[in-house]
């Protein structure tokens, strides 16, 4: 047996002491000799584990138990005993030790607290566990029980988890444990449990994460949310909370009220929201929700129609954000608000109709016509089709008005619109631009002969007598025709050239149509010449400003003025802005011209503010072209700082069309103005697109009622209603209102009674030079310390 164990010849039955010394590994020999010597001295058996190296080079671990045979005097004569090969056992122990070392290394670096729990005691703890329990080091945890650190309920949870893992072989659930700390505070620990083997015996690894701060923040967030909900509820908005895991939604009392549901009992949370949202709006709402849930957008925001309990559709504005995520980062809960915007939408629809639909005929007005013409041009570009623009003006209409009155004239225009509309296809567009001017857009043309056919058809229908009460009226029409793309690539070109062709038809005898020809475009050459001279106007000092006072209607004081650009041409004399501003916009001159106007206006504002002892505000018109990235302008804000002039001394006037789908350059510039204190006014309000949300989003300060509504405000109930509606709406939004074009005392008094804040127009003053306004301010001082209403 020994021979096989040590790879010795089979006949070997014993080894001498020297032979044993030869096979024992040199590292183990001193310990073996020492142990044997001690056994001899103590006259007791020995029990040793050591390594030997066989002749074949194998390393063998031996467990050797032996005793000494002695002579009569007690001297050792011979050793007898047994040797057992324990090599495999030693390899297993070494592997276990290596595994424990790796385990210690990994857990020591883990930021979570990790302990090994065996026989209700800690047998291992990493540094993070010591930090969580607020002890000096991991060694202080070894040998201690859960009762030393956890509250009784937590110890019970630990024992139950140990039982599940070690006795029943079942997984233990995630648990939150309350731990006591040396300073008396309580820590909340999130714990997971797993079965491990420690030093050959089953044990439980407990991994804990300190969530005390997390729970504190969650509680703080809960309290904040409750306060926020109370505040939001106070505004009349409804609040919803959506559990994305269970797909259930809880609704606040306000939201139930908005939807017409009882405060208690079954509500919309038990019904699919898809059935409540208008089918036309659902795709947008769904897309907005999905974008927010996926994290593509920070918040969900959408306006849509929703069916109330009575079956009626209500317009609402919905907003929401994700407020909870699981450990994998997936959203689990959303919260948000819904506000009833039905009234606002009705106002917007009314204003949109005022801005886009001709009140008399129900046809698109000038604004809407231009939009639809632009759209048809883009469509024609994509499809390589032709289209025709007919510009139609009634011949003899003024005489009908003079003879039969305006009411009869309106009846004639209404019938004319009906006749024109009856001549065209459904795909064609008929619009009334104002007065007795109509336009027709013939779309998707395959044959230009259709244009001539339609023109003759319209002329024939309009030449038929019009029945006006007990009388008949006879009128004709003159039609100008411009073709796309032959006569121009855009709507501006087509309208201009069709207008020129219409005047040519009138000049040729009326009651006929005329195509545009190049000879009609001589004015374009004059415009080019004007553009060239305009580039030199600033350098030559030909541009100057006039200022039209803006009067506070309540007390009559002059607190503001609008800067109006003028051009004194050495050869042509005074040139109105309506002639040269379009040229400047087209030629790229608006940047330097706008800079010059701003600097002059700012300088005057500084001078008049010092003169009056209060902030005197100058309004400067800014063209849409000036907001385009390609329009380079100087540092306006820097110039205000150079003058030490507050931003509120300047007002930038823009048209409301700029706020419809504004370009990033527009948004950026308006936000810069807001941050600098420069105020913004919407000029000619009520004649274009508008949206209440845009007025709030861009922090608009003033609305200027267009002069077209003011002109006949005393005689036209519709225009008076529009003006009053704008004033009420503006004040509800915290904005101030300026009425333009006031020419009579009656107009002023009507607007003053309606609550309009400011007015300007010939009734107060024509635009005047700087020196004259200075004298006016000296003779009619402003009210010291006056400020606008909030807005």
DSSP codes of every residue in 50-115: EEEE-TTS-EEEEEEEEEEEE-TT--EEEEEEEEEE-HHHHHHHHHHHHHHHHHHHHHHH-SSEEE
Same domain, 463 and 488: yes
Tokens linked to 648: 């509120």
- Parallel, antiparallel or unpaired: strands 476-484 and 513-515: parallel
Tokens linked to 417: 């619109």
Tokens linked to 28: 């183990």
Give the CATH number of the domain where residue 477 resides.
3.30.70.270
pLDDT tens figures, 111-123: 788 899 999 999 9
Structural domain of 255: 238-340
Residue 54 has pLDDT above 90, yes or no: no
Categorize the per-residue pLDDT at 376 as very low, low, confident or very high, splitting at 50, 70 and 90: very high
pLDDT at residue 234 in the model:
58
Question: Do you find a cis peptide bond into 485, omega within 30 degrees of 0?
Answer: yes
Is 791 contained in some domain?
A: no
Same domain, 558 and 647: yes
Is the C-alpha dihedral spanning 770, 775, 779, 781 positive or negative? positive
Same domain, 137 and 158: yes
Rounded to a whole number of angstroms, the CA Rg of the chain reads: 46
Bigger pLDDT: 449 or 512? Answer: 512
Bigger pLDDT: 658 or 716? Answer: 716
Domain stop point among 316, 340, 364: 340
Render 588-613 in DSSP notation, one character per residue.
T-HHHHHHHHHHHHHHHHHHHHHHHT
Query: 298-305 long-range contacts, Cβ below 8 Å, gap at least 24?
Result: 300/334, 300/336, 303/341, 303/345, 304/277, 304/278, 305/277, 305/278, 305/280, 305/281
- SS3 assignment, position 407: helix
Bigger pLDDT: 396 or 629? Answer: 396
Is 762 contained in some domain?
A: yes
pTM value? 0.40
pLDDT tens figures, 563-617: 999 999 988 899 888 888 888 887 788 888 999 999 999 999 999 998 888 899 9
Please, which residues have CB within 8 angstroms of residue 183's CB and are 6 or more apart in sequence?
134
Residue 302 has pLDDT above 60, yes or no: yes
Same domain, 441 and 495: yes
A 10 A CB-CB count for 476 gives 15
Residue 271 has pLDDT above 60, yes or no: no
Same domain, 507 and 604: no
Same domain, 724 and 577: yes
Average pLDDT (779-783) is 58
Average pLDDT (81-109) is 71
Query: 405-410 long-range contacts, Cβ below 8 Å, gap at least 24?
Result: 408/468, 408/469, 408/473, 410/360
Residue 425 has pLDDT above 70, yes or no: yes
In total, how many domains does the chain have? Answer: 5
Give the CATH number of the domain where residue 284 resides.
3.30.450.20
Same domain, 639 and 772: yes
DSSP code for 789: P
Same domain, 189 and 124: yes
Query: 747-755 long-range contacts, Cβ below 8 Å, gap at least 24?
Result: 747/710, 747/713, 747/714, 748/553, 750/713, 750/714, 750/720, 751/553, 751/705, 751/710, 751/713, 751/723, 751/727, 752/553, 752/554, 754/723, 754/724, 754/727, 755/727, 755/728, 755/731
Same domain, 159 and 266: no
Is 246 contained in some domain?
A: yes
β-bridge partners, 395? 476
Same domain, 29 and 176: no
Residue 716 has pLDDT above 50, yes or no: yes
Contact at 8 Å (CB) between 56 and 7?
Answer: yes
Phi then psi for residue 84, to 5 deg, are -120, 135
Same domain, 391 and 498: yes
Is 45 contained in some domain?
A: yes
């Amino acid at each position: 047996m020994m021979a096989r164990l040590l790879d010795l010849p089979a006949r070997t039955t014993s080894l001498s002491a020297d032979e044993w010394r030869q096979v024992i590994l040199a590292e183990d020999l001193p310990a073996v000799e020492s142990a044997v010597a001690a056994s001899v001295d103590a006259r007791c058996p020995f029990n040793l584990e050591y390594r030997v190296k066989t002749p074949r080079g194998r390393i063998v671990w031996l467990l050797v138990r032996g005793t000494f045979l002695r002579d009569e005097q007690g001297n050792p004569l011979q050793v007898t005993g047994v040797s057992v090969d324990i090599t495999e056992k030693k390899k297993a122990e070494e592997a276990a030790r290596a595994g424990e070392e790796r385990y210690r290394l990994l857990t020591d670096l883990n930021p979570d607290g990790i302990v090994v729990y065996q026989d209700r005691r800690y047998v291992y703890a990493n540094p993070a566990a010591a930090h969580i329990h607020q002890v000096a080091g991991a060694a202080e945890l070894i040998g201690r029980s859960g009762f030393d650190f956890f509250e009784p309920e937590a110890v019970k949870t630990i024992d139950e988890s140990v039982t599940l893992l070690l006795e029943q072989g079942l997984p233990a659930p995630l648990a939150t444990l309350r731990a006591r700390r040396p300073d008396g505070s309580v820590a909340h620990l999130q714990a997971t449990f797993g079965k491990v083997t420690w030093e050959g015996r089953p044990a439980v690894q407990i991994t804990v994460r300190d969530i005390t701060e997390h729970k504190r923040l969650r509680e703080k967030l809960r309290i904040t949310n409750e306060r926020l909900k109370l505040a939001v509820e106070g505004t009349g908005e409804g609040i919803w909370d959506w559990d994305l895991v269970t797909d259930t939604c809880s609704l606040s009392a306000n939201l139930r009220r908005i939807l017409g549901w009882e405060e208690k009992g079954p509500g919309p949370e038990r019904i699919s929201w898809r059935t409540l949202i208008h089918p036309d709006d659902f795709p947008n709402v769904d897309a907005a929700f999905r974008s927010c849930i996926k994290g593509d957008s920070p918040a969900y925001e959408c306006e849509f129609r929703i069916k109330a309990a009575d079956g009626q559709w209500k317009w609402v504005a919905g907003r929401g954000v994700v407020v909870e995520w699981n450990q994998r980062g997936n959203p689990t809960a959303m919260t948000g608000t819904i506000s009833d915007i039905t009234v606002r939408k009705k106002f917007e629809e009314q204003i949109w109709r005022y801005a886009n639909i001709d009140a008399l005929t129900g046809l698109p007005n000038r604004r809407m016509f231009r939009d639809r013409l632009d759209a048809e041009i883009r469509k024609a570009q994509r499809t390589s089709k032709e289209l025709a623009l007919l510009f139609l003006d009634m011949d003899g209409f003024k005489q009908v008005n003079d003879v039969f009155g305006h009411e009869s004239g309106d009846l004639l225009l209404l019938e004319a619109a009906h006749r024109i509309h009856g001549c065209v296809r459904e795909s064609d567009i008929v619009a009334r631009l104002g007065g007795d001017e109509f336009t027709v857009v013939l779309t998707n043309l395959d044959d230009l002969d259709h244009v001539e056919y339609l023109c003759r058809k319209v002329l024939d229908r309009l030449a038929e007598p019009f029945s006006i009460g007990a009388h008949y009226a006879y009128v004709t029409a003159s039609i100008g025709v411009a073709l796309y793309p032959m006569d121009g690539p855009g709507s501006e070109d087509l309208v201009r050239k069709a207008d020129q062709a219409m005047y040519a038809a009138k000049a040729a005898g009326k009651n006929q149509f005329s195509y545009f020809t190049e000879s009609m475009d001589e004015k374009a050459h004059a415009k080019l010449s004007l553009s060239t001279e305009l580039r030199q106007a600033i350098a030559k000092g030909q541009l100057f400003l006039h200022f039209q006072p803006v009067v506070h209607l309540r007390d009559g004081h002059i607190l503001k003025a609008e800067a109006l650009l003028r051009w004194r041409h050495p050869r042509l004399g005074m040139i109105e802005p309506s002639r040269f501003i379009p040229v400047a916009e087209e030629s790229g001159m608006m940047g330097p011209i706008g800079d010059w106007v701003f600097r002059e206006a700012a300088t005057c504002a500084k001078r008049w503010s010092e003169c009056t002892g209060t902030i005197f505000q100058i309004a400067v018109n800014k063209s849409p072209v000036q907001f385009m990235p390609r329009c380079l302008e100087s540092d306006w804000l820097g110039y205000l700082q150079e003058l030490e002039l507050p931003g509120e001394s300047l007002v930038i006037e823009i048209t409301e069309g700029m706020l419809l789908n504004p370009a990033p350059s527009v948004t950026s510039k308006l936000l810069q103005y807001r941050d600098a204190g420069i105020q913004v006014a919407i000029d000619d309000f009520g004649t274009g697109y508008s949206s209440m949300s845009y007025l709030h989003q861009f922090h608009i300060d003033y609305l200027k009622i267009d002069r077209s509504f003011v002109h006949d405000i005393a005689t036209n109930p519709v225009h008076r209603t529009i003006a009053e509606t704008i004033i009420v709406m503006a004040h509800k939004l915290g904005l101030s209102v300026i009425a333009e074009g006031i020419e009579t005392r009656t107009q002023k008094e009507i607007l003053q009674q309606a609550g309009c804040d400011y007015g300007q127009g010939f009734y107060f003053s024509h635009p005047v030079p700087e020196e004259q306004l200075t004298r006016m301010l000296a003779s009619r001082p402003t009210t010291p310390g006056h400020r606008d209403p909030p807005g």
